[in-house]
Structure 1
Amino acid sequence: MKHDVRVLVVGGGIVGLSTAYALTLGGPGVSVTVLEKESALATHQTGRNSGVIHSGVYYRPGSLKARYATGGAREMVEFCRDQGIAHEVTGKLVVATERSELPRLAALAERGRANGIPLLELDPAGIRDHEPEVTGLAGLHLATTGICDYTAVAHRYAALAGERGAELRLSTPVLDIARRADGVTVTTPFGEIRCAVLVNCAGLHSDRIARLAGDDPGVRIVPFRGEYYELAPARRSLVRGLVYPVPDPAFPFLGVHLTRGIHGDVHVGPNAVPALAREGYDWRTVNVRDLAETVRFPGAWTIARRHWRYELGELHRSLSKRAFTAAVRRLLPAVTEDDLLPTAAGVRAQAVARDGTLLDDFAFAGTGRVIHVLNAPSPAATASLAIGREVARRALAIE
């Protein structure tokens, strides 16, 4: 089969664009095309996060997340500096507000040390030195955490890839995929594209693209919406940097936290609730197909049974601003309901196995001439250069 392009990348988010950039660095004559179904790049997970450059403290030592995030934090800061993208290494606090959280905080400190992350254990006075308005029994200060503009990063990946010959096609969804021994044919509304290798970086729709390509991914994307408020401009001085609670290791979300962004705004959140659509950024957005797939999936019901108490609390905070404010006040007692203004939500593409296991690490799969990025939620943006290199390495190894 004559190929129109060597590697075709599906998905114009930060992972797909980093992969395209890495492919163009892989050798002379490597032709690359990126397909994005939206009319702009980076409109979903990439463009709807809090912009944190994660240190890697939360992730199991030796895991891809730990390896890629710890190195990725340094690499992202260097990339932003070299490319003139707004960023700052702020450090962050993880704060225990109840005695029951102290053992988990100590375990987090051990994990951070195992991952080679510089950290400082703090008493209440030490917490106040960093964040005068934050209260807690004990804390960790992580020096390597930062913030940046990931939408700008993604657009820079696109520009660099484009300068090296990559083609970016917007408003071009994938309708069908046909595999042959010597290539893959992808059908779009504008005709067929024949490629030697297909790379699936479709994020919220990665499992669907995998099935369209004839692969059983073994997982389903179950969407969780993260709902945010932001501090009113007059109250932004309450927070200097980044402040997080001690996470619950049984759930993949970090709890309601405080994030001063690169443009001076302070995000508060998110809580995590089931989304009624894969791109469901509010309760009014319902997609019948998405919802039916989630309801029919056994893993979704297992999650509900295991975590129903946790989710009831998240739903309560979603529907009650007073409850959300109470959660924030555990860290920041001075905040009031009037200080919190609604802002844009995001949806996490969480891959879930049929037995209800939430995939805890980045996951790559594929057969023949097709490669799938099946699980790349946070800290994928932090680790995007490393993920892009790994996917590009796999793609270029296919003859």
Structure 2
Amino acid sequence: MLRVFTVSELNGHIKNLLDNDPLLLNLWVKGEISNFKQAASGHLYFTLKDEFSTIKAVMFRSRGRRLLFTPEDGMSVRVRGYVSVYPRDGTYQLYVEEIEPEGTGALYLAFEQLKHRLEKEGLFAREHKKKLPLLPRRIGIITSPTGAVLRDMVRIIRRRWPGLQIVFVPVQVQGESAPREIARALYWLNRMDACDVIIVGRGGGSLEELWAFNTEVVARSIFASTIPVVSAVGHETDFTIADWVADVRAPTPSAAAEMVVPVREEMARYLGVLEGRLLRAVREKLQFYRARLDSCCRSRVFRFPVDILCGSRGQVVDDLYRRLTRAMEQYRQHQQSRLALLSGRLQALSPLATLARGYSICTRLDTGMVVRQAGEVKPGDRVKVELHRGRLSCKVEEAVMEQETD
């Protein structure tokens, strides 16, 4: 009687068969990537196909993080791995350990992908480039402490401008740790404001040896630098991502040293030329303004300023003065006439005028009240009589009231 398998047993048996097949343990397969997807876990899932067949493939995160480029749908590749069964679904798939682009090296493909992405973000744009200082006080150098590159740059800087300060930050320029060390050196020089310009470079080499300067972390560190950066990587024919991001590209490290440091003697001659030009310009300006001043001094307005500035205005002032004097005299006469008229009216109404005609004013001496009729006093009262000139103090002997008539 035939044995009855469970589904799990059957899948397990098939898995053992595949896992023990020497051909399927380590093989290369070429095809086109489709349905590419990167899970949140970091694992890469895709389908590898040709014109007749397809096979599912997976690349675990531990392997995928070593890829220098990003797989894409439609990309022709060669993959190395092994074939096994995923027991839960009962499907066989290719477990990928390496991926190589078909026809193009992985490094070159990664270089082109990063270059295209950074260029699209604007990291290569001309408007972001900073100018190199004319006379730097301190120069930062980021390179390997060994080799001829550092010695050549220091020798050239010392020859062109003796005594110029150099801030050297030693780093690895190739290998797995190189990108992080270069990025950290750029960050430190910027944070400490340690120099006026930075040279990042190394000698020539293969694409693999120059790869640290083609990494995203180095590119973004150069772009983030507030200090101008000169990229001096390899020989004149070598181009890296750092060259495009940097503010200036130098064909060689030695050229970079010559680029950032002027020759002191040449600078002194140049300053002498500028000084001569400045003196000539100042003399010409002085002559020009002296001629203008002489011309102004000879002009009529400077020789006869009162006539020019006052001239007809003096006549206007005189006329106004005469008119003002005449108006004031007329006003005075008018007011004087008014005063005389009012004085006459006041004189006519004044009690003094009445007194002058022989009348008098009688007031009680004790109260000062005006006595208008005889009944207001009695014999023996003291009264005061105001005359036109002087006054009398009197004692009433008799008060006679006149009878009123109809």
* TM-score in same-fold range (> 0.5): no
Structure of greater relative contact order (alpha carbons < 8 Å, 6+ residues apart): 1
Q: TM-score range by the shorter chain?
A: under 0.3
| Structure label with greater radius of gyration | 2
TM-score normalized by the length of structure 1: 0.19
Give 1 or 2: higher helix fraction. Answer: 2
Structure number with the higher strand fraction is 1
